[in-house]
Amino acid sequence: MSWSALPVVTVRPTVFLEGFFVLLAAPRVREADELALPMGGGKTSPISAVDVARAVSVILDDPAPHIGRIYNLTGLESADLDYYAHEFSKALGRTIRYRDVTLSGWSERLLEAGMPPHTVKHLSVMTELNRQGRYDRMTDDLFQLTGQKPIGMYDFVKLHATEFTGDETTV
């Protein structure tokens, strides 16, 4: 957008916790105690949409000092899915394992569930980039903008425990 001469601020979040870990992974966590995603051994630093919204609200509150800036928003830590499965286990009080599934099978299940093909293609590219280590990055941009650290996986899973257990009484 810099070529346009428009006054823009670029916000680049990594993988959203709500997307890959709630929308796409929660059913298998509930049914089979596994994170079943085609992410290989790559590391990622997922961030909550709430953290991104907090950052964007700071920018929108006073946009002038942010014009032309690029903010790379990352989660609390960058780790592989085995590590995050361990965080799920601690938060839920039961063993959750990571299972690296094939991209083709995973994509096919998303299509069968009614997800639009362009969305499946986008998510597939993201998982391939993750396998290549392209999401293994950390910044303090969120903290610099908001003065707060991003939510970590353990706290996120605790906060959304009912999504992973189906039990409304889980805290």
Task: Give the pLDDT confidence score for residue 8 in this predicted structure.
Answer: 93
Quote the pLDDT of residue 6: 86
Mean pLDDT of 19-42: 95
Give the count of alpha carbons within 13 A of 147, CB side only.
Answer: 2
Q: Which CATH number fits domain 2-162: 3.30.413.10, 3.40.50.720, 3.40.50.300, 3.10.180.10?
A: 3.40.50.720
Find the DSSP H helices in 46-134.
Answer: 49-61, 81-92, 103-112, 117-131
Do the beta carbons of residue 136 and residue 43 sit within 8 Å?
yes
H/E segment holding residue 73: strand 70-73
Mean predicted confidence (pLDDT) in 78-95: 98
**Is the pLDDT at 170 greater than 60, yes or no?**
no
pTM of the prediction? Answer: 0.91
So what's the pLDDT on residue 139? 97
pLDDT at 83 over 80: yes
Q: Where are the domains of the chain?
A: 2-162
Is there a contact between 72 and 139 (Cβ–Cβ < 8 Å)? yes
- pLDDT tens digit string along 94-122? 999 999 999 999 999 999 999 999 999 99
